[in-house]
Homo-oligomer: A and B are copies of this chain.
Amino acid sequence: MKSNKEKRQDNIKEEARKLFIKKNIEQATFAEIAKNSKVGEATIYRNYPNKGELAMVVAMDYVTDLVNDLEERLSNKKDTHIVKFEKLLDYYIEVFINKPDYFIYMEHFDNFIAHSSEKPSDFNEYEKSLYNIVKVLCDVYSGEKLDNSIDANINVEMAVYTFNITFISLCQKLLLRGKITSTDLRFDAIDELKLMKKIYIDYLKVK
């Protein structure tokens, strides 16, 4: 069971997360997080010395969830590499639909870190977890030999890596859409994601 301290921390993290998504991390203040989580500002400072540390902890929670979900989905040893890659992209589409906050938060967090003079203390650990997402991809990063579902004549590692970052960027851009220009709404976001999935798979698979 969780101690009172843990419950209080969970509560602060949850209110911080909501405010960071609503307002951008830069604009959110400890005063407002304290108000929303019904604790004193000093309590927050005791747990998190500054906003960067708090934003970091929220990011870690998201990434940990994602990596756990992915590991489970990609654990079937009978799946070929190409099936695993398809499952990864399908998972991202599910996150896009059901947990869009994840992509929105990561976009905010990336922008926040890019403009920070100092990186949060757990940033190395976060980097490693992010890299784990890429690592679970099709096992191609673990040094295992490719099975014969994927075209051996292409640079698979670079392709998978590039497709991963491109797909995530597209999800993020599509989520901003509508919030920005109205012409952007010409096509259905899910159709666009499925189109990208199709061309990635076509490129990777044995011809």
Which residue of chain B has the shortest Cβ distance to A123 in the bound complex? B181
Bound-complex Cα distance A196 to B158 (A)? 11
Do the beta carbons of A114 and B195 come within 8 Å of each other? no
A26 to chain B, nearest CB (A): 5
Contact with B along A105-119 (1 / 0, CB 8 A): 001001101110000
Copies in the assembly, this chain: 2
Segment from A4-12, A41-49, A170-178 that makes contact with B: A170-178
**Given A115-B23, A195-B158, CB of A170 within 8 Å of CB of B165:** yes
Q: How far is the CB of A28 from chain B (nearest CB, A)?
A: 11
CA distance A168 to B184 in the complex (A): 13
Contact between B181 and A158 (Cβ–Cβ < 8 Å)? no
Q: Is A62 an interface residue (CB 8 A)?
A: no
Closest to A113 in B: B180
Q: Contact partner of A158 among B158, B165, B179, B187, CB < 8 A?
A: B187
Give the contact-size bracket for chain A.
Answer: 35 or more
Q: Are B158 and A192 in contact (CB under 8 A)?
A: yes
Q: How far, in Å, is A135 (CB) from chain B's closest CB? A: 10
Determine whether the beta carbon of B192 is less than 8 Å from that of A162.
yes
A142 at the interface (CB under 8 A from B): no
- Report Cα–Cα, A25/B197, bound state, in Å: 34
Q: Which residues of B contact A182 (CB under 8 A)?
A: 127
List B contacts of A134 (CB < 8 A): 183
In the complex, whether A199 has a CB less than 8 A from a CB of chain B is: yes
